[in-house]
Chains A and B, each alone.
Chain A
Amino acid sequence: MSIDRRSLIKCGAAGAGVAIAASTLPALAARPRKEAPADAVGMLYDTTLCIGCKTCVVACREANGKPPDTSNSPGRLYDMPLDLNGTTKNVIKLYKDPDGAERSYMKAQCMHCIDPACVGACMLGALQKRELGIVTYKQEFCSGCRYCQMACPFNIPKFEWSSRAPLMDKCEMCVHRVVKGQQPGCTEVCPRKAIVFGKRADLLAEAKRRIAGSPKKYKGYRKGDAPRVYGETEGGGTQVLYVSHVPFEKLGLPDLGDKPVPEVAQTVQHGIYQGFVAPVALYAVLGAVIMRNKKAEGQKGKAS
């Protein structure tokens, strides 16, 4: 009773063929690129202006009711977050070339992507682009699965690792202030206007104006690249924009190309599950084959 290999290979080949077709077809019909909403707000950070005073870090805590992070401070005297974390939505880091004089501050917070991977990941839509294109978080829909962290190319969403009922935490561009006509905490206090708030379209124009004004001062992604605005197209575009006097890669910004991070995954997912046709069809076929086999078996049983 050796197994009929030929029929099996046939069946396997057919199955694989269908599966390959299912996963390559959608590539032909890739999902449309998303545009920033017309009223999209954003922030523009200019490394040439930042002096690293961290006033924005303090203002962010006040605006969001977050306690200082003294866990890394000897004697717990200072607010010293080492990076974004469960209580820190905004942080100023320092980049310093180990072999040279090149240095720059770097402000890290949510980039508010136009097509965010975290929003694509979140099972119940706790993370969503809501008013003004701001990526906001509603805790009642979050079970703490942390898929948003896996998906985010900027490693922005942070988890309350020491809590027994942990939530996610990330910059929401102070949406609670913005809807009241105020500015985000960080942009309001910046003494050098290194971080400014406004409509994304206006900020993009301003960033390009600055680069055009001093093309030698600003840099591109790598050393030697033409100067550009990070976030104009990166990962499908972000609502927080950067211009910098050191290459963006030195600041830890990822090299994303202009393709939105969720594009491939969602093209595949939607290709397979378009209108839920494939699963229903597969179910009907499986059911029919099982019934047919069962009937054949029953007849065999009667005959003998």
Chain B
Amino acid sequence: MIRSLLLAGLFSAGLSAAALAQSHPPHAQPGELEVDPYTVSDANAGADPIEDADVFVAFGGEAGIARVVDGLLERVREDERIEGIFRASDWPRLRRTLIEQFCYILGGPCTYTGRDMASVHRDHGITTREFNALVENLQDAMDAEGIPFALQNRLLARLAPMHRDVVTR
């Protein structure tokens, strides 16, 4: 009896070790790297959705949000203040999860499947200066899409408190 309990314990320990291996989550797109397991939840987005349907429309829906994210990532890639942080990033996954996150926060019909803000930023040693540089790039990307200033600020107001979880230095 004791032996079989012991065996069962060993077996389940083996199973949980296997479950901790990296894998492609079901929502991953081709080209994404494998990731450590985590629990998917909209709460990971780090902000509640804006409950004003006009905002999502003003951003041009999912397609407009995708253009803002692409504009943001193009600018980040060229920004010597912060491009180094992203040099080894999983860009396909970064793009997908950013679109999901913005879409969810802007009240769109999206689910956020990425990890929480503290987990994804923890080991990057990001400074306030670097956080602010990213915000500047986002503002420029929204300007380029012709999104009105007041509506830009609706999104930025939801993102700003993430400073707590993103900045660690």
* A and B co-occur in one complex: no
B-contacting residues of A (Cβ < 8 Å)?
none
